Amino acid sequence: MNNQNFSFRTTVREEDKEIIRDILLSGGFFYDFEIDTAVELVDDYLLEGDKSGYLFLYAEVDGKTVGYTCFGQIACTKYSWDLYWIAVHENMRGSGLGKLLMRETEKMIKILGGKNVYIETSGREKYVPTQKFYDSCGCELIATIADFYDEGDDKLIYKRSL
């Protein structure tokens, strides 16, 4: 990846709703209701700002948003944060952008006082590349909840200590 044309932004804009929808649709991983939920988090932020509990980091190449994360501190904890979403447009997969987004998000969380990041994902076969991604980022699988999302679809919980 050519990092010279690569940048991050934290400003959340109205047009991010459609950008996020496009990014999430591109990979074919998510159900429509999951994509709708991701877009609703942008709405929440646009209405309430940081008080919404959601923060965003967008990755751009040549001015075009091609990936993002959404994260926030876990209520009633001192140092624990959730990574709600991390996604890269399908045409950028394998470029290293996901790892860059993860590292930049971790830096932001650390600056904000976070020490632990928790990530939930599906245990379905389709999500093996996602699971391998978290492994490659130094995340530890700490729990599996059987049949959480659906019969045969376990919830996997990863932890990354900062």
Which CATH number goes with the domain that contains 55? 3.40.630.30
Q: How many domains does the chain have?
A: 1
Task: Give dist(CA 96, CA 102) in Å, integer.
Answer: 10
pLDDT at 49: 95
H-state helical runs in 1-157: 16-27, 32-48, 97-111, 128-136
**pTM listed for this prediction:** 0.93
Task: Give dist(CA 72, CA 86) in Å, integer.
Answer: 12
**In which domain, by residue range, is 106 found?**
3-161
pLDDT at 5: 75
Task: Give dist(CA 82, CA 52) in Å, integer.
Answer: 14
Between helices 16-27 and 32-48, what is the axis angle to 10°?
160
Residues in the chain, pLDDT under 70: 1-4
